[in-house]
Amino acid sequence: MARKISVLGLLFLSVMLFSFFTNRKNDPAASVKGYYLSEATRFRQEVLVFRDMIPAGDSQKLQAQFLKIRSAYKRMEVIVEYYFNYFAAKLNGPPIPFFEEDEPDVGQQEPAGMQVIEGLIFPGYDPASRQALLAATERLYSDAGFMIETNESNAFSEELIFDALTEELYRITAMGLAGFDAQASGNGLPECRAALEGVQKILSLYHDNLEKQIGDKANRLDRLLVSAFNFLDRYRDFNAFPRMRFIQEYLNPVTGLIGEYKEYREFGPNRSPMFYSTIRKNNTLFAPGIFNPDLYLDDNTSSAQKIALGRKLFFDKKLSSDNKHSCASCHDPKKAFTDGLTTSVAIDGHSPLRRNAPTIWNAALQRNLFLDSRSPSLEEQVMQVLNNASEMHGSAQKAAEKILLDPEYSTLYAQAYPRSDPGKAAQNVCNAIACYERTLIALNARFDKHMRGIPSLSQQEINGFNLFMGKAKCGTCHFMPLFSGAKPPRYYYTETEVIGVPDRNLKNGARLDEDEGRFAATGLPMHKYAFKTATLRNIALTAPYMHNGVFKTLEEVMDFYNNGGGKGLHIAPANQTLPFEKLGLTRQERLNIIAFMKSLTDTQQVHLQKPGR
């Protein structure tokens, strides 16, 4: 009996010791989870302190305590945004009604969380909003508690933790430095620091693993982050912050080293549908081949034969019912795949279509297509155009049948789609054109080269970038590096915005353009007059601008935004998402931003099949 007890005791002790060393030494993931729970608890305590301060109504004290709340959140943001995205929207979602493109079934969601509270106390607290502030704070406190309670169902693993770290670095680079979620308080830079502190803490828990795989580069990671903190502490002025330098000297190297470690460990992408990502997440935002143009192929596959067929079809007027129009009629390569018109012309040769023709450069990197985001794939977009009475005046099926009567096409088609069902000819024609469009990737402009360490920009262009991402707030809607509404860190769906576009370019007497945009597709009031945030890639070549081509020059576009969009023209719809206040940009600052945007010009066809380093 004594021997049994002794054996059991030794067994129990062995299990305990194994558990201790596994959890504390060999399993940093457990420590990461512990760090998150500790920070989540601290965050909730800071919210409680804030709630208790509301009755006194001291504006300065409320603002100071709110900044503590946001810093506490930012230190755990890397985990919350990845593992608890549902709560992230509740804790730090937009301060206006919003629609998540990746969750269309949810519909319109109402604002809640810190950004709502921020708008109630910055720039100053109005005691008349006390009840609204109390209600928003109580909900924030409650949601934080629910989030903490749900942590046990989430398995933390090294592979996913490093995926989360990469996403957080993308988020800081593309959104944090732009002050995306701190526009009322202007506290974006200290919050970037807090977010990097969270990254640093998790990396410190994996220091031994990192050192084993990448040697002294692990210590370089530590030094880079410490230097990044010093840089942020030294340059505190949000508008004057040298963002490009900070990205090049600190964020890019840190992100690249983490990507290197992930490759050593052969960490792959998160295969869950919730984590689909256009970006490969194995390097910096600016690395060659970092975006995957074939991600949205679904069950189809691309091939050289399909691309060759699609390229020929794209320029062939036989696709139209009158044999006079091709895809290139509205998307001319000489005009950066636009047509240079205010709005495109219908197939009859004189009737104007409703909207301006957008460029198809980088269209492969957009999940939702058309200016109202109604199409979920390039194939469907092509199908809609071929079936449109005003654009091609026919049907995709008839166009396919006509094309296949041509002996040359018949051969090309057979090579691209051997043994294909004859009933799928229309779908295959659309797929071939889409496969060609997926080769039209423009991410090798002077800006990209500069961000890869090859000096290519003038000081004016660098100043313009810093303004674009800072004072001008352009980067809060046109997300870097695609400079479209494709939202970081996964760049999977493209957002829409309501900016109050006029029907004519008038300083006085302008009216809101009557095109209701995305509203026709969703029926949601928040989408009335909403349009997809278009890419600024090749923007110097794609005039005129806006969905109705109302502005002829980039100078006119900058004037419109500088004055608050539709609000500045006194035509803003009630649901305008563009901030109402004027930007206060000087003429020289506007010219600097335009100079930067022109550095995004790249019309050399680039299609890297594999990601490069």
Within this chain, do residues 462 and 492 fall inside the same structural domain, yes or no? yes
Residue 270 amino acid letter: N
Q: Is the domain of 324 the same as that of 228?
A: no
Which of 437, 465, 495 is at the close of a domain?
437
The dihedral of CA 534, 536, 542, 544: what is its sign?
positive
DSSP string, 510-553: --B----BTHHHH--GGGTTBEE----TTGGGS-SBSTT--B-S
Host H or E run for residue 496:
strand 496-497
Return the top range by mean pLDDT from 22-36, 73-87, 311-325.
73-87
* Residue 72, token pair as written in the block: 């506490």
In a domain, 17, yes or no: no
Mean pLDDT confidence for 39-68: 98
- The answer, yes or no, to whether residue 394 has pLDDT greater than 80, is no
* Confidence label for 331 from pLDDT (cuts 50, 70 and 90): very high
Q: Are residues 426 and 470 in the same domain?
A: no
For residue 202, being part of any structural domain is answered with: yes
**In a shared domain, residues 262 and 339:** no
Task: Give the 3-state secondary structure of residue 98.
Answer: strand
Question: Given 212, 243, 275, which residue is the final one in a domain?
Answer: 275
Residue 2 within a domain = no
Q: How many domains does the chain have?
A: 3
CATH code, 177? 1.20.1420.20
Q: Which domain holds residue 385?
A: 295-437
Backbone dihedral angles phi then psi of residue 494, each to the nearest 5 degrees: -105, 130
For residues 576-602, give the mean pLDDT.
96
**CATH code, domain with 428:** 1.10.760.10
pLDDT of residue 533: 97
Q: Same structural domain for residues 328 and 464? A: no
304 and 233 in a common domain: no
Which of these ranges, 395-399, 440-444, 475-479, has the smallest mean pLDDT?
A: 395-399
Residue 347: predicted pLDDT: 81
Domain's final residue, options 437, 470, 504:
437
Tell me, yes or no, whether 161 lies in a domain: yes
Once rounded to an integer, what is the mean pLDDT over residues 309-336? Answer: 92
- Residue 609 has a pLDDT of 34
pLDDT at 17 over 70: no
The reply to whether 494 and 378 lie within a common domain is no
Tell whether 411 is covered by a domain.
yes
pLDDT digits (tens, 9 = 90+) for 458-473: 999 999 999 999 999 9
Which pTM was predicted?
0.93
Residue 611 lies in a domain: no
Residue 234 lies in a domain: yes
What mean pLDDT comes out for the span 474-494?
96
**122 and 260 together in one domain:** yes
pLDDT on residue 393: 64
10 occurs within a structural domain: no
Residue 506 and residue 539 in one domain: yes
Cα separations in angstroms, 209 against 155, 158, 202? 19, 10, 12
Please determine, for residue 44, whether its predicted confidence score (pLDDT) is greater than 60: yes
Is the same domain home to 490 and 594?
yes
Q: Tell whether 531 and 389 lie within a shared domain.
A: no
User: 3-state DSSP helix/strand/coil percent for the chain, to nearest 5?
Assistant: 55, 5, 40
